[in-house]
Structure 1
Amino acid sequence: MIKFKYFFGSDSRSVPFLSTLYNEINDLKVITLPPNTKGRGRKISSNPVEIFCNENNIDFDYFDESKQYDDMEFGIVASFSKIFSNSFIKVNSSLFNIHLSLLPQYRGPTPVETAILNNEIQTGYTIFKIDEDIDTGNIIFQNSLNIKNKYASEIYQEIYNIFKSDYLSINFHYEGSNQEGLPSLTKKFKKQDFNITNNSVEVAKNKIKAFDILGPAFMIFNNKILKIHTYSELENDSRIKLGDGFLYPSQVTPEGKRTMSFDDYLRGLK
């Protein structure tokens, strides 16, 4: 039987990995999740991987939990919004996940964001063999990068670029090594986590950097929601007083308005 390499992914963070793999692997088989319905009108919405495949004439199939992918040499999983059952893992044992931290640090759904919130200077990505627990399998590859003063979107892009350079040197037939060190966990964030109104300047800055994709961070300013996308380290007159100092926003979105510079927003208040 001819064996194929598979890719499993379903959100926007999957797409850069898929793009690299599709350019490097002949006859890559792409698996994603079926469209879901959104909004009051229950409009059918395809996920970013399906959209990317359609735009680039790439064949794909929807995931079937009951299927044995017996023509799979190995499968690479990147941001796939589905946890495989233990029975599926046992039948399809050559599955590898791309996780955006240096495991066992920051297991779970938000490793990049949590690393920024915790003032980490370094993070990276790990490729590990999927087992029956969450993010605990044997490591086959890791690489690191400096993340000091970087936004989450910048870190994601750097990891995509590093993976693109690394891919051909990664041995997906290696059994890997056990994860060593104390594990730490991440969580899914809620809207209130993005609120910086009562935070210190340092915490506010970290939230702005961490949540530039998931959020953005926001605060209550002049009794309205002000979303803050970026900030400046340069002191100037365009500032907001927080508990222990001043924050200097750069790009903001006022409630009910378009994104603009903070300077323009302040001028509009006069």
Structure 2
Amino acid sequence: MKKIKIIFAGTDKFSSIHLNELILKKFNILTVITKTDKKIGRGKKIQFSEVKKTAIKHKLQLIQLDSLNLEKYSKILKKKKPDMMIIVSFGLIIPNKIIKIFRLGCINIHTSLLPKFRGPSPIQSAILQGEKKTGISIIQINNKLDTGNILYKKSINIKKTDTYNTLKKKLTILGKKSLIKFLKNIVLKKTLSIPQNENKATYTKKIYKKNGLINWNKKASKIEKKVRAFNSWPGTFFFIKKIMIKIMKVNIIKSTKKITPGKIIQADKNGILISTKNNLINVTELQISGKKINKVCKIIHSYKKLFKIGRVLL
């Protein structure tokens, strides 16, 4: 496996796990590219990316970028005569000048079954839309977002209880296994290159903190999916007297009665029952602003006034 000379580009933990897997399987990593360090708070503390930590640990050459200006490193990369660039959760577009350097091209690992859910939030979108399956797609990089030919694809089932965190863990395991399998296929010359069907393409949007605000006029099933999809960031939340209440776990209680959406119907050790457009949402675990995450049954007696029965949430 040392014959394939690799440049690796990535940033977050998902990316670093894939880099670790390549190191574990003794692939030849020439250089690691990641984003520049982040300043925390008032700039007194510096935060390294997870990929940088991995590169330092294994004494790999490191290039850090603060913009799209990767082209200035083209001469350095050319001298290394790399075969392939592997991109995992990098967050920066690779210019054509860089792509042309690699004999085997640039590949990207995407956490959806492309062409469905292109863009920045494929895991959340799969849960939000009630998909039964998702997976990993390894594609050839081109000058457009997530549109390159599919080189390898593997699917997994989505459980009704899956959250963003649990599904990402599954996709991380699937991703690193898929990457090694794909690279072995290259050595054996068994790779495929299948163009994506543009007629079936869908796009996801970047998620912001404000997207986590609950709209009780939505159906209970939509709210329940949102709670799972936005766990742990940005979270789903509502306000009572300007106090943010973050929802951690819910279940749906069916109801045939017409009730004003957002009304607290019940608040006891079994949960906080809130009406929606159709059925009821039962909040069983939450976080009150400034407090720890807790089960409703453990804190409800201390917050009876906050979750007053009959209160309508805006």
TM norm structure 1: 0.89
3-state SS, counterpart of residue 292 of structure 2:
coil
Task: For 1:231, give the aligned amino acid.
Answer: V
In the TM superposition, 1:47-62 aligns within 5 A as 47-54=49-56, 56-62=57-63
Residue in structure 2 matched with residue 14 of structure 1 by the alignment:
15
In the TM superposition, 1:90-109 aligns within 5 A as 90-92=100-102, 94-109=105-120
* Conserved 8 A contact 1:251-1:259: yes
What do residues 148-204 of structure 1 show as CA deviations (whole Å, max 9, x unaligned)? 311111111111222343344313463611112410000101222111142332111
Distance between the aligned counterparts of 2:102 and 2:22, measured in 1?
20
Sequence identity, in percent?
25
1:267 Cα shift? 2.4
- In the alignment, does 2:271 pair up with 1:260? no
Residue in structure 2 matched with residue 179 of structure 1 by the alignment:
196
Q: Select between 204-213 and 10-19 the one with higher mean Cα deviation.
A: 10-19
Give the count of matched residue pairs.
268
* Conserved 8 A contact 1:122-1:146: yes
Distance between the aligned counterparts of 2:17 and 2:244, measured in 1?
33
* Conserved 8 A contact 1:197-1:242: no
Task: For 1:136, give the aligned amino acid.
Answer: T
* Conserved 8 A contact 1:124-1:144: yes
Pick from 116, 140, 149: which aligns with 2:127? 116
Distance 1:221 1:247, change over 3 A: farther
Distance between the aligned counterparts of 1:60 and 1:97, measured in 2?
21
Residue in structure 2 matched with residue 217 of structure 1 by the alignment:
236
Residue in structure 2 matched with residue 155 of structure 1 by the alignment:
167
Distance between the aligned counterparts of 2:178 and 2:13, measured in 1?
21
Residue in structure 2 matched with residue 141 of structure 1 by the alignment:
152
Task: For 1:257, give the aligned amino acid.
Answer: K
* Conserved 8 A contact 1:35-1:45: yes
Runs (4+) off by over 6 Å: none
Distance between the aligned counterparts of 1:245 and 1:223, measured in 2?
26
1:6 Cα shift? 2.3
Distance between the aligned counterparts of 2:170 and 2:8, measured in 1?
21
Q: If you compute each CA radius of gyration, which structure gives the higher value, 1 or 2?
A: 2
For structure 2, the 5+ residue unaligned runs are 255-268, 305-314
* Conserved 8 A contact 1:197-1:218: no
Distance between the aligned counterparts of 2:232 and 2:25, measured in 1?
28
What do residues 64-89 of structure 1 show as CA deviations (whole Å, max 9, x unaligned)? 61223232111211100211123322
Task: For 2:21, give the aligned amino acid.
Answer: T
Q: Select between 143-152 and 218-227 the one with higher mean Cα deviation.
A: 218-227
3-state SS, counterpart of residue 248 of structure 1:
strand
- In the alignment, does 2:282 pair up with 1:248? yes
3-state SS, counterpart of residue 271 of structure 2:
coil
TM norm structure 2: 0.77
Task: For 1:20, give the aligned amino acid.
Answer: E
Task: For 1:246, give the aligned amino acid.
Answer: L
Residue in structure 1 matched with residue 227 of structure 2 by the alignment:
208
Task: For 1:201, give the aligned amino acid.
Answer: A
